[in-house]
């Protein structure tokens, strides 16, 4: 008998002991197998939580167990999916029985009764708004593009793979239509793409072709469940995107799944990435004339916004007018995706893949993307290596093709994902100026004569800059720039480089302003509250740390460059004396 003393409560009947529930107990409560429980949690977005005190949560046992919120598990009890899981269990039993008896007819009948379910309500529950769902697309796309690649197996069903493949290419086709690609980075792992849609930046990774090996350590069941959910979310998102842009969804012809040939044809059309998306309405929305709008308003802020929009529109169409033929050894789909997104027309060998639009011999071909030491020569056509496309996308302008001639040693492919305030190698500035169509006076031989020349060049450029600035930039900014320029010629070239670099890879100046404003606000608030003060201190500390690191690297670079100069001079002297 346990006597309850006056004012004493039994241990572990309130607080953390009841707020958390161990995985084992949760399973008991839901009457699910571990695999089903995991599946349910993944689908519903319920994650394990760490209790503040393990001992209290474990009712005295402090071992490292997995805990969930009890409320979460109670919520799961009401999930209709559980019922379907149980039905599936019964279905499997029936199927096994029929197959065990080698009664194939019965087995086929049973197979027809496979319990189905849909998870629309879960998607809506987890993402109450469209943008909530978009925010989770990073994960979703990476998984979908991954599963679109892997071979089917006993754990990864062909249906899921086919579904992923369809969604992946529908997504790419939409991105082409929306012209939303911002960045691309070709790493040894695969391609990182970044797009901007509805104000959300979405980054995802697509592995190189033929690269993925089966990894035994990964639990495919878990990954499959994630992907299953993400395909559902993605297809809802795609429907919304397509219909909002007056496009028909699905983009390929009415799906007649009884005709295998037709399905294949449609799929290949989709995957060729040269498909014109079908419009649901014939009414064409006229593109709003920005110039008119600019002329009509006198508001300075609006003018600025219009300027930004203009430059963005120009960046969206850097490949406009280019007709690019992709050689067969180049990765077709990433190149076609990027080129088409930014306004180019693409084609390839018609034997290689369906969907080719023109031939290599056509006179209209302006560029040939080729990855061999030599390329067939033709007048009016420029042969480039694939990196030309990637760099052009990142720098927002056509790179000069002479750096990317087949067989030439390529400039480094720099990551556009480097964050603000991080160290930026000097090559970046050179490439950036090239993308702007300027002649970079940096990085050349550092002989004195050349130095003078480059200085002249720089001055010339500055003159040009000033001319363009008069129309483009507000006066205050211009003044600041002129002030910098006045200082420039006196400084050694090394320092000039640093200054430009401070602009960074990310061109997000408005964001910088916001950060600065936020900081000022904090500084003001710091005078009143201790908490704010500490927060500010912490921010400043980390900034100082970053700054120190950058300084270290830059001084290192200066030293290396100086050493190079000395070496060159020495070698020249030696050559003269010989």
Partner 1 sequence: MKAQLHDIVMPEVEEPKTKRAKFSRKTKKGWKKIDISQEEAALEQKRFEEIHFGGDLSKTKDEDLFVIDRKPVKKKKELDRTCYHDKILANKSKVAAAVPVENRPESRKSILHNDNMLKRKAKIVDVARTDLSKKLTAEQILEKNKGLNNNYDLWSANTLTEKQKFIPAKHAKHLRGLEGVKAPKHMKFKPKMMEKVEKVSVAHAGASYNPDYDDHQALLLQEHNKEFKKVKSEDSYKEKAKPKNVATEEEMARESMRGLGILPDEDDDDQYETEEESTEPGFVKKPVRAEDRKDKKQRRKEKRVLAAQRAVRRKKQMAILLNQFYSIKKIKKGLREHEKELEKQKEFRKEKQEKRVPRIGVLKADMNPDQDVKLSEELVGTLRQLVPEGNVLTDRLKSFEARTMLEPRKKQKRHKQAFKTKWQQKRTFREWDEQFEKELKKEEKMES
Q: Which residue, 103 or 219, has its beta carbon nearer to partner 1?
A: 219
Indicate the residue among 12 and 236 with the shorter CB distance to partner 1: 236
Residues 6+ apart with CB under 8 A from 547: none
DSSP β-bridge partners for residue 369? 326, 384
State which residue, 387 or 458, has the beta carbon closest to partner 1.
Answer: 387
Name which of 186 and 398 has its Cβ closer to partner 1: 186
Q: How far is the CB of 438 from partner 1 (least distance, A)?
A: 20
Residue 209 beta carbon to partner 1: minimum distance, rounded to whole angstroms: 9
Nearer to partner 1 (CB atom), residue 120 or residue 448: 120
| DSSP-derived secondary structure for 480-519 | HHHHHHHHGGGS-HHHHHHHHHTT-SS--HHHHHHHHHHH
285's tokens: 């929305």
Task: Write out 347-415 in H/E/C secondary structure.
Answer: EECCCCCCCCCCCCCCCCCCEEECCCCCCCCCCCCEEECCHHHHHHHHHCCCCCHHHHCCCCCCCCCCC
Q: Which is nearer to partner 1, 385 or 392 (CB)?
A: 385
Q: In terms of CB distance, is 239 or 495 closer to partner 1?
A: 239
Q: Quick check: 422 and 550 in contact, CB under 8 A?
A: yes
Q: Which is nearer to partner 1, 173 or 232 (CB)?
A: 232
Burial class (CB in 10 A: 0-12, 13-18, 19+), 557: middle
Q: How far is the CB of 207 from partner 1 (least distance, A)?
A: 5
CB of 390 to partner 1, least distance (A): 9
Residue among 435, 563, 558 nearest 505 (CA):
435
Task: For partner 1, give the closer residue by CB, 385 or 458.
Answer: 385
Q: In sequence order, which residues have a C-beta less than 8 Å from that of residue 180 and are 6 or more positions away? A: 195, 196, 197, 341
Burial class (CB in 10 A: 0-12, 13-18, 19+), 318: buried
CA atoms lying within 13 Å on the CB side of residue 445: 8
Shortest distance (Å) from residue 218 CB to partner 1? 5
C-beta separation of 155 from 224 below 8 A: yes
Nearer to partner 1, 78 or 576 (CB): 78
Q: Which residue has the tokens 């090394």?
A: 494
Q: Rounded distance, CA 250 to CA 280, Å?
A: 11
Closest among 382, 389, 385, 365 to 373, alpha carbons compared? 385
Cβ proximity to partner 1: between 331 and 343 the closer is: 331
Instruction: In angstroms, give the least distance from the CB of 217 to partner 1.
Output: 5
Which run of H or of E encompasses 21? strand 20-22
The DSSP code for 400 is P
Please identify, using beta-carbon distances, which residue of 372 and 569 lies nearer to partner 1.
Answer: 372
3 state DSSP class of 49: strand
Instruction: For the CB of residue 118, give the shortest distance to partner 1 in the complex, in Å.
Output: 6
User: CA 264, 265, 266 angle in degrees (round to 5)?
Assistant: 90
> What is the C-alpha separation between 231 and 162, in angstroms, rounded?
11
Give every CB contact of residue 513 below 8 A, 6+ residues apart in sequence. Answer: none
Give the separation between CA 73 and CA 60, rounded to whole angstroms.
21
Q: Please state the closest distance from residue 332 (CB atom) to partner 1, in A.
A: 11
DSSP 208-270: PTT-PPP-TTS-HHHHHHHHHHHHHHHHHHHHHHHHHTTB-SSSSSP--TT-HHHHHHHHHHH
Q: Measured from the CB of residue 505, what is the shortest distance to partner 1 in angstroms?
A: 9
Closer residue to partner 1 (CB): 313 or 372: 372
Q: How far is the CB of 427 from partner 1 (least distance, A)?
A: 6
Q: How far is the CB of 440 from partner 1 (least distance, A)?
A: 16
Shortest distance (Å) from residue 517 CB to partner 1: 23
Closer residue to partner 1, CB minimum distance, 306 or 535: 535
Which is nearer to partner 1, 387 or 454 (by Cβ)?
A: 387
Closest CB 213 distance from partner 1, rounded Å: 6
Alpha carbon distance 299, 296 (integer Å): 9
Q: How far is the CB of 71 from partner 1 (least distance, A)?
A: 4
CB 234 within 8 A of CB 141: yes
Q: What six digits make up the tokens of 78?
A: 């009401």
Q: What are phi and psi of 350, to 5 degrees?
A: -65, -20
Distance in angstroms (rounded) separating the CA atoms of residues 305 and 294: 10
126 CB contacts (<8 Å, ≥6 apart)? Answer: 44, 45, 132
- Provide the minimum distance between the beta carbon of 418 and partner 1 in the complex, in angstroms, as a whole number: 6
Dihedral pair phi/psi, residue 440, rounded to 5° = -70, 125
């Amino acid at each position: 008998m346990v006597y309850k003393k006056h004012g004493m409560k039994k241990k572990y009947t309130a607080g953390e002991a009841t707020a958390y529930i161990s995985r084992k107990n949760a399973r008991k409560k839901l009457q699910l197998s571990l695999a089903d429980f995991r599946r349910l949690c993944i689908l519903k977005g319920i994650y394990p939580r760490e209790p503040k005190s393990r001992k209290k949560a474990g009712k005295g046992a402090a071992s490292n167990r997995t805990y969930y919120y009890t409320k979460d598990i109670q919520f799961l009890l009401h999930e209709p999916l559980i019922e379907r899981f149980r039905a599936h269990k019964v279905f499997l039993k029936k199927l096994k029985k029929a197959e065990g008896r080698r009664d194939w007819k019965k087995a086929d009948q049973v197979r027809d009764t496979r319990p189905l379910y849909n998870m629309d309500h879960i998607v809506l529950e987890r993402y109450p708004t469209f943008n909530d769902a978009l925010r989770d697309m990073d994960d979703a796309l990476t998984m979908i593009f991954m599963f679109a690649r892997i071979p089917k197996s006993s754990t990864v069903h062909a249906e899921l793979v086919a579904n992923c493949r369809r969604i992946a290419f529908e997504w790419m086709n939409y991105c082409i239509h929306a012209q939303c690609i911002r960045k691309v980075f070709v790493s040894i792992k695969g391609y990182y793409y970044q797009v901007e849609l509805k104000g959300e930046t979405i980054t995802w990774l697509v592995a190189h072709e033929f690269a993925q090996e089966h990894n035994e350590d990964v639990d495919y069941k878990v990954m499959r469940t994630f992907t299953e959910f993400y395909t559902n979310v993605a297809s809802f998102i795609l429907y919304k995107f397509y219909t909002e842009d007056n496009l028909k969804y699905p983009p390929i012809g009415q799906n007649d799944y009884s005709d295998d040939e037709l399905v294949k044809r449609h799929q290949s059309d989709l995957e060729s990435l040269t498909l014109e998306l079908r419009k649901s309405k014939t009414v064409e929305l006229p593109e709003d004339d920005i110039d008119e709008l600019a002329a009509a308003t006198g508001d300075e802020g609006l003018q600025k916004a219009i300027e930004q929009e203009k430059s963005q529109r120009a960046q969206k169409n850097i490949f406009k007018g280019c007709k690019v033929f992709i050689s067969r050894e180049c990765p077709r789909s990433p190149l076609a995706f990027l080129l088409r997104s930014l306004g180019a027309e693409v084609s390839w060998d018609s034997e290689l893949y369906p969907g080719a639009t023109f031939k290599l011999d056509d006179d209209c071909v302006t560029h040939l993307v080729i990855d061999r030491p030599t390329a067939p020569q033709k007048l009016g056509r420029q042969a480039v290596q694939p990196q030309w496309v990637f760099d052009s996308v990142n720098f927002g302008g056509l790179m000069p093709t002479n750096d990317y001639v087949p067989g030439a040693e390529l400039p480094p492919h720099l990551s556009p994902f480097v964050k603000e305030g991080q160290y930026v190698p000097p090559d970046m500035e050179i490439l950036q100026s090239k993308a702007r169509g300027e002649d970079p006076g940096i990085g050349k031989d550092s002989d004195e004569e050349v130095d003078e020349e480059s200085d002249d060049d720089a001055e010339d450029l500055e003159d040009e800059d000033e001319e363009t600035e008069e129309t483009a930039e507000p006066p205050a900014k211009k003044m600041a720039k002129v002030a910098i320029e006045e200082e420039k010629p006196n400084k050694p070239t090394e320092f000039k480089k640093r200054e430009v670099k401070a602009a960074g890879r990310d061109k997000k100046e408005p964001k910088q302003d916001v950060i600065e404003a936020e900081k000022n606000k904090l500084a003001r608030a710091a005078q009143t509250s201790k908490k704010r003060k500490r927060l500010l201190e912490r921010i400043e500390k980390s900034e100082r740390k970053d700054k120190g690191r950058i300084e270290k690297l830059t001084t290192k670079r200066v030293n290396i460059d100086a050493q190079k100069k000395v070496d060159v001079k020495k070698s020249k002297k030696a050559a003269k004396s010989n």
